[in-house]
Amino acid sequence: MIFAFIAYLFAIVLVLIDVFRDHSVPGWGKALWVLFLVFVPFLTVLVYVIARGAGMSERLRSRGDGPPAEDYAMPQGMPNPATEIATAKDLADRGIISQGEFDAIKNKALGNRY
């Protein structure tokens, strides 16, 4: 029972937050939703989620509260050592980096510590 009550309160809070986050609903519409949430909360949450659930998920995603568009937790591909060395060699040939810096980049690309 406690879990159901907490989930119910959570749903009410989410609906209340979404009502005020939605800029397409005018002020009187927001007032009506809040009024219904106060007097008939269970039915209002159910109707709101059915009627405006898709908009809720879009607003969560656009704000950044939902799942990210790109998964930053996934590791990116390892850089190609040959490409790194070739780029560093080009920079060294043009005089942008010194020979010591080129050697450090080459050692790092090849996995050498020193």
pLDDT tens figures, 98-107: 999 999 988 8
Give residue 25's domain range: 2-63
Assess whether pLDDT exceeds 80 at residue 76: no
Nearest of 54, 55, 52, 41 to residue 13 by alpha carbon: 41
* Residue 74 lies inside a defined structural domain of this protein: no
Confidence (pTM): 0.47
If pLDDT is split at 50, 70 and 90, which confidence band does 28 have?
Answer: confident
* Residue 22 lies inside a defined structural domain of this protein: yes
Residues 48 and 98 in one domain: no
Residues 51 and 86 in one domain: no
* Token digits of residue 83: 């490409």
Rounded Cα–Cα distance for residues 59 and 33 (Å): 17
Tally of structural domains, the chain: 2
Residues 6 and 58 in one domain: yes
* Residue 38 lies inside a defined structural domain of this protein: yes
